[in-house]
């Protein structure tokens, strides 16, 4: 960390409720060394807080948000990032229940961080719905949050649609995906679509943005067994 800039590595990953190859999952996160891990599909049913705490210990990160009642979202981070937290919170996003899939709870989990040297930034995790109308409602909610943030925003999540989707198009004037559309994330075993991303507003200097297909100790085959989504990575300077 320096007064001139604060370099952060943000990793966003749908963890499939820790149902995959846990050894590969833990090793991959250790290899990637994120300062902030934005989680979708954190454990929700059986001992959700205990299991999330176990995972956090394995990767030596603190749980800043998540656990029981977390709507499948969590934010884990290093002690250095935790020391910069001004506020943290999570809240639901309403949706229309039309089928069983639409009963999955949706929401936003967010941190406001003090940036060393001056200013603040918001880092958030979200998971959009499978139904287009619910994704649009969620996108409208996110747009209002970004407009009212009063600071640069980093938003990571499983967006359940590609960049040409209606919800993404609604968000695009405010939030851009700095990675190539060809950086596919789903399905993990043979990715053909980029439905996971870390989006940024103006004011975020992006140094690298990509999906992760393998790491130093986890090859493609093992990583594809860790979750049904691949992780997406963003290196930024604030």
Residue 84 within any structural domain of the chain:
yes
- 231 has pLDDT over 70: yes
Residue with tokens 């959700």: 48
Supply the pLDDT for residue 177: 98
- The percentage of residues in the chain with a pLDDT greater than 90, rounded to a whole number, is 95
- 90 has pLDDT over 80: yes
Query: Each residue of 166-224: pLDDT tens digit?
Result: 999 999 999 999 999 999 999 999 999 999 999 999 999 999 999 999 999 999 999 99
Residue 1 within any structural domain of the chain:
no
Bridge partner residues of 210 (DSSP): 233
Q: How far apart are CA 34 and CA 36, in angstroms?
A: 5
Residue 4 pLDDT grade (very low, low, confident, very high; cuts 50, 70, 90): low
Using a cut of 0.85, tell me whether the model's pTM lies above it. Answer: yes
Residue 143's domain spans which residues? 7-237
- 22 has pLDDT over 60: yes
Contacts of 219 (CB under 8 A, 6+ apart): none
Supply the pLDDT for residue 192: 98
CA–CA distance from 165 to each of 110, 128, 162 (Å)?
A: 24, 12, 6
Supply the pLDDT for residue 195: 98
- 159 has pLDDT over 90: yes
- 2 has pLDDT over 60: no
CA atoms within 13 A on the CB side of 236: 25
CATH number reported for the structural domain that contains residue 156 in this entry: 3.60.10.10
Residue 169 within any structural domain of the chain:
yes
Residue 121 within any structural domain of the chain:
yes
Higher pLDDT pick, 2 / 15: 15
Query: Each residue of 26-39: pLDDT tens digit?
Result: 999 999 999 999 99
Residue 5 pLDDT grade (very low, low, confident, very high; cuts 50, 70, 90): confident
Task: Reduce the secondary structure of 142-194 to three states and give it as a string.
Answer: HHHHHHCCCCCEEEEEECCCCCCCHHHHHHCCCCECCCCCCCCCECCCCCCEC
Residue 2 within any structural domain of the chain:
no
Residue 109 within any structural domain of the chain:
yes
- 1 has pLDDT over 60: no
Q: What is the tally of structural domains in the chain?
A: 1
Mean predicted confidence (pLDDT) in 5-15: 97
Bridge partner residues of 37 (DSSP): 11, 76
């Amino acid at each position: 960390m320096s007064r001139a800039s604060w370099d952060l590595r943000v990793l966003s990953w749908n963890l499939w409720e820790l149902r995959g190859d846990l050894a590969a999952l833990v090793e991959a996160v250790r290899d990637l060394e994120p300062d902030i891990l934005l989680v979708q599909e954190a454990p929700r049913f059986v001992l959700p807080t205990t299991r999330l705490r176990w995972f956090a210990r394995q990767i030596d990160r603190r749980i800043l948000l998540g656990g029981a009642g977390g709507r499948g979202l969590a934010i884990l981070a290093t002690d250095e990032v935790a020391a910069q937290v001004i506020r943290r919170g999570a809240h639901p996003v309403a949706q229309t229940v039309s089928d069983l899939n639409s009963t999955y709870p949706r929401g936003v989990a967010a941190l406001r961080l003090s940036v060393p040297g001056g200013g603040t930034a918001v880092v958030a995790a979200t998971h959009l719905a499978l139904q287009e109308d619910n994704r649009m409602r969620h996108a409208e909610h996110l747009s209002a949050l970004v407009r009212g943030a009063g600071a640069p925003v980093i938003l990571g999540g499983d967006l359940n649609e590609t960049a040409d989707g209606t919800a993404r198009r609604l968000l695009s004037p405010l939030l851009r995906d700095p990675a190539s559309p060809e950086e596919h994330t789903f399905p993990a075993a043979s990715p053909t679509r980029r439905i996971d991303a870390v989006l940024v507003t103006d004011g975020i200097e992006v140094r690298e943005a990509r999906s992760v297909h393998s790491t130093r100790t986890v090859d493609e085959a093992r990583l594809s067994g860790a979750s049904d989504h691949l992780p997406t990575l963003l290196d930024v300077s604030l």
